[in-house]
Structure 1
Amino acid sequence: MEKKVNRWVILLAAVVTNLCLGAGYAWSVFQAALLEANPDWAQTQTAIAYSISFAMVPLGMIIFGPKLDELGPRRFVFIGGILFGVGMFLTGFVNSVFMLYITYGLILGLGIGAAYGASTSVAAKWFPDKKGLAGGLTAAGFGLGPLIFAPVVRSMLTNYDIYTVFKILGVILLIVICLASTFMRKAPAVEATGAAAVAEGKTYKEMMREPKFWILWAVYTLGATGGMMIISSGASIATNYALGDPVTIVMAVSIANTFGRIFWGSVSDKIGRYQTVVAMFVVVALGLFLAISSPSLGALAGTAGLMMVGLSFGGFLGSFPGITAENWGVKNAGTNYGWMFTAYGVAAVFGPTIGSLILDATGTYSTAFVIVIGMAILGILLQLLYMKKYRNA
């Protein structure tokens, strides 16, 4: 008989796992070093590797999700750790952009999807009473990854070339993630009480046939779009609005993003998840208004505005695993959230693209910010529609 386990230890292992996976998103540092080592490569070419990696995350969650829900998180965090570490390690041998797409894009990205899907399911299944806080903590681990590993990689590059750095990180992160997986356990079955269908858990096919899935998917997409625009273009926005040192602004937004995953998750446990989503949209709109007004209000107001967007962006990531489990049960939470997480992938494409196109056309991000404010208003309306129609769901 398996001895009693401490669910907080399991959650800590999930946070450590996501912290390691977040190293994959210290991309700006990796990319700069790769371009320096390969002057014949173009930034637009190498950026595709990052896009492929991002696209593989929800795909990995969808591929591994069905077995994850059946067998528990341990083996899938282990598999994800192997894929992630091997992908990172093999990137240390690439001599062409195409090979970079395979190692860093495909293999590493699938590893993130496998392990992130498993670690995220821990929050929903082990913490039904604290879904928001637990989901926020696991998401915060992922957000902290780039903040921690970017300076680590920069320091390593003073002593090693980028290819050696990839090899060293690949080995270390593989070991740490696989060790963390040994602390994972399958959550006890949820007894059907109240809404039996939710307690037992619906499949992704059943979930996607329900109109409320598409309402929430649209809400998630609208909520993440502004955040992806700010995260991907923070340095450029800081320069465009003369907010100060771009690196400092990017770090400030990243810290707000990470803190938001915990803060909003905790808030949602107290006031309700859907009320929290509405509040996050309001904060996004106010933050972008401050950013647009920074020429008259000052750089501090503009920086605060960008941090408000980052804060709420983290909140969407921390809230939606719990929202998904709350609506369609924890039994198939890994697979179901994989499909919900495709909203984040769509936002990752449209957010940066909208910002870049409008900057090229107008020389400023102001019109893009107005569009995202409109998205926030639409998100509020959709969330209120959901609350009115499915308040007892």
Structure 2
Amino acid sequence: MELTKKRWIILIASCFINLCIGSIYGWSVFAAPMAAYLSSVTGRTLTPGDLAIAFTITNSVGPITMISGGWINDRFGPKKVIFAGGLLFGGGMLLSGFATSVGFLVFAYGIVLGLGTGMVYGCTISNSIKFFPDKRGLVGGVTTAAYGLSSVIIPPIANGLISTSSVKTAFIILGIAFLVIICAASFFIEKCPSDFVPSGWSPKAVHVGRSLKNDKDWKGMLANPLFYVMIALLISGAFAGLMCTSQASPIAQKMVGLSAAAATTAVSILALFNTGGRIIAGYISDKIGRINTLAISSLFSVIGLTLLYLSGENSVATFYIGISVIGLSFGSLMGVFPGFTADQFGAKNNSVNYGIMFIGFAIAGYFGPSIMKNVYSVDGSYQRAFVIAAVFGITGFVLTFVYKWAVKYQQTAANKNQKAII
């Protein structure tokens, strides 16, 4: 089958895989019942906030295998990397069902599952982007949207399993299902040839600039000052999304007074807008540019956080609008950044390069949930955490202008050097 047609099968398989690993965004549904279960087992009174360390570590260790798996992917292809990642991800979820302590849960869900997430996520997105140089923003949005869509689908399923059986059973059943689906779908994934060009498309037709003629490896990327602006922008943009995602259910219950079932709906709504934002922003970024899309995303983040700050007991409408805007903003950021990285530093080494860039996501994934937990434990409310996150959002907006200035400065310097040589 011609690769231009076959790439769509590869994209679909990648989306099914990301649909599985995106279940980590449904963590808040597991947090409360797992805290209750571990409290009964250990004799200690544990809260969802006490278990947030598992979710935090999941996001923190991902870049380790994104980078190492990306290196293997760039040389030998993604099939084996995704298969191994599927074993780790499904196995980590399954092992979480046997946890009898916070430490074991951190090992199973935080480390094993987190390492599997990094291996799979980096390969599916980078490989898909390579197959679609003509639709880089859209495909980056679609593949990451599948990742986000999991939080719309998985929370109701997980909640149903927890209600009818137990949280342990939910982890085990989902772990087995994810392991089978990811490993089976990996056989449909192929490595994109370095010289692949879709039929009927000319690179000149897409204005992606430097990336088509200047592929940089990780050393070249780290030597470029733009990398540090970009990773700071990623940290700033992801902070609010990861902070709210990690404890969306507890926020809905404690701050607004929603029931557990209604809080699960809030998690799904957050995920739905997260998913939609990835596709919409990915498509728009192909039209108006990645950095302009990210500037808009940063402003939306501040608006959403302001609405959450104003929410309180029975402020249901304000809360739902705020959490929806946060989801839209976070999804936009995550949908645009893979293509943004490939645009700037080239698609050839994007598996490793994006893995390194993703360290910014891990940093936000550590500090966002941690700050929210600490603020609530001290203040007994989440309001101050929303203010802190809003500062990050404003910082992200400012960084988009810093990026534009830095790009213009580099281009001016390059033109001067070229004239001097001539």
Deviations 1:54-107 (A, max 9, x none): 222111101211111112222211111122222233334444443333332222
C-alpha spacing 1:261/1:51, structure 2 compared with 1 (3 Å):
same
The answer to whether the Cα contact below 8 Å between 1:94 and 1:100 also exists between their aligned partners in 2 is: yes
1:208 matched to 2:222? The reply is yes
Q: CA RMSD in A?
A: 2.9
Deviations 1:202-250 (A, max 9, x none): 1212211211100010011111111122222334444565485544433
1:57 matched to 2:57? The reply is no
Amino acid at match of 2:399: L
Q: CA deviation at 1:262?
A: 1.1
1:386 matched to 2:403? The reply is yes
C-alpha spacing 1:154/1:207, structure 2 compared with 1 (3 Å):
same
Q: CA deviation at 1:336?
A: 0.8
1:117 matched to 2:122? The reply is yes
Equivalent in the alignment of 2:418: none
C-alpha spacing 1:346/1:183, structure 2 compared with 1 (3 Å):
same
The answer to whether the Cα contact below 8 Å between 2:28 and 2:249 also exists between their aligned partners in 1 is: no
C-alpha spacing 1:384/1:63, structure 2 compared with 1 (3 Å):
same
1:288 matched to 2:305? The reply is yes
Equivalent in the alignment of 2:193: 188
Equivalent in the alignment of 2:239: 225
Greater mean deviation of Cα atoms: 57-66 or 238-247: 238-247
Amino acid at match of 1:223: G
C-alpha spacing 1:388/1:156, structure 2 compared with 1 (3 Å):
same
TM-score under structure 2 length normalisation: 0.83
> In structure 1, what is the Cα distance between the partners aligned to 2:390 and 2:96?
39
Q: CA deviation at 1:11?
A: 1.0
Greater mean deviation of Cα atoms: 193-202 or 57-66: 193-202
> In structure 2, what is the Cα distance between the partners aligned to 1:234 and 1:87?
23
Work out which of the residue numbers 103, 110, 117 in structure 2 matches 1:105: 110
Q: CA deviation at 1:293?
A: 4.1
1:71 matched to 2:76? The reply is yes
The answer to whether the Cα contact below 8 Å between 2:59 and 2:361 also exists between their aligned partners in 1 is: no
The answer to whether the Cα contact below 8 Å between 1:84 and 1:110 also exists between their aligned partners in 2 is: yes
Equivalent in the alignment of 1:26: 26
> In structure 2, what is the Cα distance between the partners aligned to 1:96 and 1:291?
33
Amino acid at match of 2:372: G
Unpaired stretches in structure 2, ≥5 consecutive residues: 197-202, 412-422
Aligned length: 393
Greater mean deviation of Cα atoms: 102-111 or 85-94: 85-94
Deviations 1:296-352 (A, max 9, x none): xx6424431331121011111111111111111111111111111111111112222
The answer to whether the Cα contact below 8 Å between 2:28 and 2:245 also exists between their aligned partners in 1 is: no
C-alpha spacing 1:27/1:358, structure 2 compared with 1 (3 Å):
closer
C-alpha spacing 1:182/1:231, structure 2 compared with 1 (3 Å):
same
Equivalent in the alignment of 1:91: 96
Q: CA deviation at 1:28?
A: 3.1
> In structure 2, what is the Cα distance between the partners aligned to 1:196 and 1:264?
22
- Superposition pairs for residues 351-390 of structure 1, below 5 Å? 351-390=368-407
The answer to whether the Cα contact below 8 Å between 1:200 and 1:330 also exists between their aligned partners in 2 is: no
> In structure 1, what is the Cα distance between the partners aligned to 2:167 and 2:306?
40
Equivalent in the alignment of 1:234: 248
C-alpha spacing 1:380/1:63, structure 2 compared with 1 (3 Å):
same
> In structure 2, what is the Cα distance between the partners aligned to 1:103 and 1:299?
35
The runs of 4+ residues in structure 1 deviating greater than 6 Å are: 1-4, 191-197
> In structure 1, what is the Cα distance between the partners aligned to 2:88 and 2:394?
40
C-alpha spacing 1:99/1:290, structure 2 compared with 1 (3 Å):
closer
Greater mean deviation of Cα atoms: 322-331 or 151-160: 151-160
Equivalent in the alignment of 1:332: 349
Equivalent in the alignment of 1:254: 271
The answer to whether the Cα contact below 8 Å between 1:277 and 1:383 also exists between their aligned partners in 2 is: yes
1:177 matched to 2:182? The reply is yes
C-alpha spacing 1:243/1:287, structure 2 compared with 1 (3 Å):
farther
Amino acid at match of 1:289: T
1:134 matched to 2:139? The reply is yes
Deviations 1:250-302 (A, max 9, x none): 3322221121111111111111111101111111222233333457xx64244
> In structure 1, what is the Cα distance between the partners aligned to 2:90 and 2:287?
38
Equivalent in the alignment of 1:167: 172
Deviations 1:100-156 (A, max 9, x none): 333322222111111111111133211122122111111111112233122222323
Equivalent in the alignment of 2:156: 151
Equivalent in the alignment of 2:41: 40
Equivalent in the alignment of 2:420: none
Deviations 1:161-220 (A, max 9, x none): 444443333332222111211111111214898967754521212211211100010011
Greater mean deviation of Cα atoms: 140-149 or 242-251: 242-251
Q: CA deviation at 1:17?
A: 0.2
Amino acid at match of 1:10: I
3-state secondary structure, aligned to 1:128 = coil
The answer to whether the Cα contact below 8 Å between 1:243 and 1:300 also exists between their aligned partners in 2 is: no
> In structure 2, what is the Cα distance between the partners aligned to 1:206 and 1:140?
29
> In structure 2, what is the Cα distance between the partners aligned to 1:286 and 1:90?
39
> In structure 2, what is the Cα distance between the partners aligned to 1:265 and 1:341?
18
Unpaired stretches in structure 1, ≥5 consecutive residues: none
Equivalent in the alignment of 1:317: 334
Amino acid at match of 2:115: L
